[in-house]
Structure 1
């Protein structure tokens, strides 16, 4: 269970990308000076998500009584508090990985444990080639070297027909309608958290907290397309401690892919989360404690 007595300082950090965009990250710094001897954690969210997804997990890790550690949760360009890009084609994994490197440099982080949810995991694969010494451990949340095409098509459909709720009650009901079958384990508190992560309110109007042009990046995607895989990148991570989390009802990370990943990396740890789909909430089902334990061993 997430520690309710938060013992950390939370601050928004802004930095500039290589091409001049103002980007944002949430910085969770423990009050306990002991955190300086523990590896920091870098959190990277899914395609249309933002840094708020990691808020409760980050507070738990930063406030941990035995192993407090600094946590950075990034907003990619076009999401959350980061600036939108006038050229939507820059919403790609390579550019976003470069943005993370710029953020690490600006915030003085040389290395750490990387947590990647969905697209964040793909960015982790790119970072492994771009800045290999930065990665000391990896948590992959419902993502692997092979992406299930059916799940990707569902994400595309959501982006193209995103709900436009008039209030928070409608926002919660919209998410239940979209995600309910895959996430029967969620509580009312979880659904509120989901809505508050996905939407932001400006001048009394609720809207999804990402650039609508993000949907343009998936226009050319078709159900029968052969999707690229990232096996070479994953194989290159065999020397690192890895924890893979899979939702029971995931339509992005298949059981077969997870088995193949385990064959490549026999020491890889796995967690299977019942009653959740793509992607499990990292502060539920004891995941926050499991992640804290994984980090403590690195």
Structure 2
């Protein structure tokens, strides 16, 4: 399945071993990719073709396995997964690679982490791409406790909550540590105040599938920001929007501008 997987390296931060890939043109403008909940750098960025697409466009492509995901260490304490904590992991990776500033692109939970990164370290972010999360960034995305319960249920057959079943099946497909994911979903849901969104001045693209019932409106979120635009990804839900060709073309065009 992972025959085409690029090599991963690791670094240590906050007593955790965190893994990442570093592909594309070493001299190109760096793009830091931050994946979504229950995913990984491979599932979110390699398999849907993002690493290949950005690398062929001349960028240096860096993707982290967030704590609790992929190859990285997996703490079981929900407090370890606050979005500002995971944002510091991403900044530590930039430090490790001696990269002063990067384009930052996050999907779903990774979009939330990216916003906390941009608020805490604005000088490290050249631009933002937020995928799979619109007004849910500030308004919330519903009750996710049933998803934690679904992840810890004895089997998928014991789960009758629709969204819980979807994420439990996804976690099984990606062979994830379900106990770590349950801690993550309980700890990573902090909202961003609307006024704080207004403090993010870097160019921002917000892409959400038109059939996404999790993310909320990209237009509503973009309206809070001084330099943001919204992208409707036609006919795609939360899971399928990430690799969509309309999304990829919009991101390449956006980067060409900035």
TM bin (shorter chain): 0.7 to 0.9
In terms of Rg, which structure is larger?
A: 1
Q: Does 1:140 align with 2:130?
A: yes
Partner of 1:246: 208
Q: TM (normalized to structure 2)?
A: 0.80
SS of residue matched to 1:48? coil
Pick aligned residue for 1:119 from 109, 130, 135 = 109
Runs of 5+ consecutive residues of structure 2 not aligned to the other structure? 157-161
Q: Does 1:83 align with 2:79?
A: no
Q: Does 1:54 align with 2:45?
A: yes
Displacement, 1:267?
4.8
Q: Does 1:234 align with 2:234?
A: no
Q: Is contact 2:86-2:113 (8 Å) kept?
A: yes
Q: Is contact 1:160-1:215 (8 Å) kept?
A: yes
**CA–CA distance in structure 2, aligned partners of residues 211 and 178 of structure 1:** 13
Alignment of 1:1-298 (within 5 A): 10-17=6-13, 19-30=14-25, 36=27, 38-52=28-42, 53-55=44-46, 56-64=49-57, 68-144=58-134, 146-147=136-137, 149=140, 151-153=141-143, 155-162=144-151, 178=166, 199-200=173-174, 207=175, 209-218=176-185, 228-237=191-200, 239-255=201-217, 258-265=218-225, 267-298=227-258
Q: Is contact 2:210-2:234 (8 Å) kept?
A: yes
**CA–CA distance in structure 2, aligned partners of residues 88 and 260 of structure 1:** 29
Q: TM (normalized to structure 1)?
A: 0.70
Displacement, 1:49?
1.6
**CA–CA distance in structure 1, aligned partners of residues 119 and 226 of structure 2:** 21
**CA–CA distance in structure 2, aligned partners of residues 284 and 219 of structure 1:** 29
**CA–CA distance in structure 1, aligned partners of residues 180 and 142 of structure 2:** 17
